[in-house]
Amino acid sequence: MSNRDITVEELANTEYKYGFVSDVEEEKIPKGLDENVVRLISEKKHEPGWMLEWRLKAYRHWITMKEPHWSNVKYSPIDYQDIIYYAAPKKKPKLNDLNEADPDLLQAFEKLGIPLAEQKRLAGVAVDAVFDSVSVATTFKEKLSELGIVFCSISEAIQNYPDLVRKYLGSVVPYTDNFFASLNSAVFSDGSFAFVPKGVRCPMELSTYFRINASETGQFERTLIVAEEGAYVSYLEGCTAPIRDTNQLHAAVVELVALDNAEIKYSTVQNWYPGDKNGKGGIYNFVTKRGACRGVNSKISWTQVETGSAITWKYPSCLLIGDNSVGEFYSVAMTNNLQQADTGTKMIHMGKNTKSTIISKGISAGRSNNSYRGQVKIARKAENARNYSQCDSLLIGDKCGAHTFPYLETNNPTAQVEHEATTSKIGADQIFYLNQRGISTEDAVRLIVNGYCKEVFKQLPMEFAVEATRLLSMSLEGSVG
């Protein structure tokens, strides 16, 4: 009906809300990458020798590697010499004294809904704010330290907790792991570090908010979270970037370590700039996320809601080493216009009685392509391992694609592995049915999509679930014809 088309047309023109650029004075190094650049980054951060050595080893390994092309995404070649590897606001607050920060910087975060000033801070959430290459502030740091919890930028951690960093950095994702992880290891500029000591339940959500601001820069952050014996922590990650018509590279690494009886819950709402309707611009998101359940009865749970980026290449994984350890992956990946996502998980069962659950919900609209890629591997010694996987795809319109690539390797006959997959479409008849009950087309699509994502959204902390629902609605706009 013509009436409907007009509404959809109007909605399609809704802009990416976080596309503004902040006028923050920044220090940038020249474009390009070689050993000197790696040294320069390390020097700017006043790093100890061991850190520089590690970076250089990573760099030397990286130059021997080739960019991988096995994923189901297409893009023109990335020129790694045409990227700025370090950009930082000149007036960075010292020791978290926000009075000394560039007011434009504070305003930028305020505009993103992440107030950093003491009196306005989000209740119950400690935030580490990362702006381009560096962490600019961490809230509630003192309060957390009373419990022995360390939550700070990785740069500070390298200075103040070198033993912890040396022990765990690269222990889950070694610098040789893959092309993008090696690049990250060589040039990472900041990120978050969280350490929850033995027996402590972290009383608030820890959160990092990543913001790319500068043009032509890449963002390479490194996050490391360690939960000691019996510890618990829930961690949230959010991200946005300005609208630019060139592509920007984001290659992050996240490592999680859970010791005996520890639990880490890691939630992401990823909303990097996805590019415009014609596929111009947008973030290339090549991320390595992996958690190691090292201890007995440990648990790592990944929940992700992916709505942004021009390209998403991301497989948050669990190494289930400890006996009875549990790995979970809950994912909603939404692509619209010309976005491409190749995302999924790896569950590697090594310990006895290990259990993993995979719930993946892909939503494709416009001319986008959405792939689920997941691996379940049961090692020879993993007695009684269990996996349940469910991969659903929802198609909106008839120009998009959904693909599922499950890989299964079982080396122990006691394993129980279940895999279910469905593909469905939002039908015109479903929309008309809701219309006939007085519900508008946009609300009808929201209801249907939220219904479809329910299993994943209920895993998110409350505020995040609301945010995720809202984000999804935003990404859906203009997707129904």
Partner 1 sequence: MLEIKNLHASVEGKEILKGIDLTVNIGEVHAIMGPNGSGKSTLANILAGKPEYSVTEGEVMYEGKDLLAMKPEIRAREGVFLAFQYPVELPGVNNTTFLRTALNESRKYHSQPEVGAGAFLSLLKKKMHLVEMPDTLLSRSVNEGFSGGEKKRNEILQMAVLEPRLAILDETDSGLDIDALRIVANGVNKLKSRDNATIVVTHYQRLLNYIVPDYVHVLYDGRIVKSGGKDLALELEERGYEWVKQEEIAK
Contact 154, 130 (CB under 8 A): no
Contact 263, 420 (CB under 8 A): no
Q: How far is the CB of 1 from partner 1 (least distance, A)?
A: 4
Q: Which two tokens stand for residue 429?
A: 């008849």
- Residue 145 or residue 424: which is nearer to partner 1 going by CB? 424
Q: How far is the CB of 440 from partner 1 (least distance, A)?
A: 5
- Residue 59 or residue 452: which is nearer to partner 1 going by CB? 452
* Of residues 286, 306, 316, 248, the one with CA closest to residue 70: 286
How many residues are listed for the chain in this entry? 481
Q: Which two tokens stand for residue 460?
A: 């998110």
Q: How far is the CB of 7 from partner 1 (least distance, A)?
A: 9
Q: How far is CA 2 from CA 8, 334, 337, 478, 481, in A?
A: 10, 27, 21, 15, 10
Contact 334, 363 (CB under 8 A): yes
Q: Rule CB under 8 A: which residues touch partner 1?
A: 1, 3-4, 424, 427-430, 432-441, 443, 447-448, 450-455
Q: How far is it, in rounded angstroms, from Cα 322 to Cα 227?
A: 14
DSSP state of 136: E
- Residue 160 or residue 424: which is nearer to partner 1 going by CB? 424
Q: Which two tokens stand for residue 95?
A: 């020791």
- Count other C-beta atoms under 10 Å from residue 422's C-beta: 10
- Residue 380 or residue 437: which is nearer to partner 1 going by CB? 437
* DSSP E strands, 297-412: 299-306, 311-314, 317-320, 326-335, 340-349, 355-364, 369-378, 386-395, 401-410
- Residue 296 or residue 447: which is nearer to partner 1 going by CB? 447
- Residue 53 or residue 443: which is nearer to partner 1 going by CB? 443
Q: How far is the CB of 8 from partner 1 (least distance, A)?
A: 12
Q: How far is the CB of 362 from partner 1 (least distance, A)?
A: 15
Q: How far is the CB of 266 from partner 1 (least distance, A)?
A: 24
- Alpha helix stretches (DSSP H) within 169-215: 179-187
Which strand (E) or helix (H) includes residue 268? strand 263-270
Q: How far is the CB of 308 from partner 1 (least distance, A)?
A: 23
Q: How far is it, in rounded angstroms, from Cα 160 to Cα 293?
A: 26
Which strand (E) or helix (H) includes residue 11? helix 2-12
Q: How far is it, in rounded angstroms, from Cα 444 to Cα 18?
A: 25
Which strand (E) or helix (H) includes residue 142? helix 141-145
- Residue 225 or residue 453: which is nearer to partner 1 going by CB? 453
- Residue 129 or residue 445: which is nearer to partner 1 going by CB? 445
Q: How far is the CB of 270 from partner 1 (least distance, A)?
A: 22
Widest CA span of the chain, in angstroms?
Answer: 69
- Residue 43 or residue 455: which is nearer to partner 1 going by CB? 455
Q: How far is the CB of 2 from partner 1 (least distance, A)?
A: 10
Q: How far is it, in rounded angstroms, from Cα 142 to Cα 349?
A: 38
Q: How far is the CB of 370 from partner 1 (least distance, A)?
A: 18
Instruction: Indicate the Cα dihedral angle 427, 431, 434, 438, nearest 10°.
Output: -170
- Residue 107 or residue 435: which is nearer to partner 1 going by CB? 435
- Residue 1 or residue 123: which is nearer to partner 1 going by CB? 1
Chain centroid to CA 151: 18
Chain centroid to CA 181: 14
Q: How far is the CB of 406 from partner 1 (least distance, A)?
A: 21
DSSP state of 403: E
